[in-house]
Amino acid sequence: MGTSNGSRKRTRKKFAQKVGFRPTLTKFLAEYDVGQQVVIMQEASSHRGVPFRRFRGTSGYIVGKRGNAYIIEIQDGNSVKKIISRPEHFKAITEEVK
């Protein structure tokens, strides 16, 4: 059998979740503000609006909204990239000062 060339190849361990894990509905319906800092963590159970696997764990800022998805601006090396992703695939970074 030949190797796959799909967008989700080599993601078996990256996107794996614990046995019995079910994401909450609030994760899918979350609202974010422009300028809010987020980190990209793909949700394996949702296949819509998934960022490319290379950007897992990358942090960036929300710069806009497009339909149900958000536009996230990240720094990738020396270039700035914009990623269009749905809200279940990233989470907000809260700055807690102790």
C-alpha 2/C-alpha 21 separation (Å) is 32
Closest CA to 38 of 5, 80, 86: 86
Contact criterion met (CB below 8 Å) for 40 and 57: yes
Q: Which fold has domain 27-92?
A: SH3 type barrels. (2.30.30)
Beta bridge partners of 80: 75
Provide the residue ranges of all domains of the chain, joining segments of one domain with +: 27-92
pLDDT score at 5: 86
DSSP letter, residue 28? H
pLDDT score at 88: 93
User: Could you tell me which residues come within 8 angstroms of residue 15 by beta carbon, excluding any fewer than 6 positions away?
Assistant: 8, 42, 44, 53
pLDDT digits (tens, 9 = 90+) for 27-77: 888 999 999 999 999 888 888 888 988 999 999 999 999 999 999 999 999
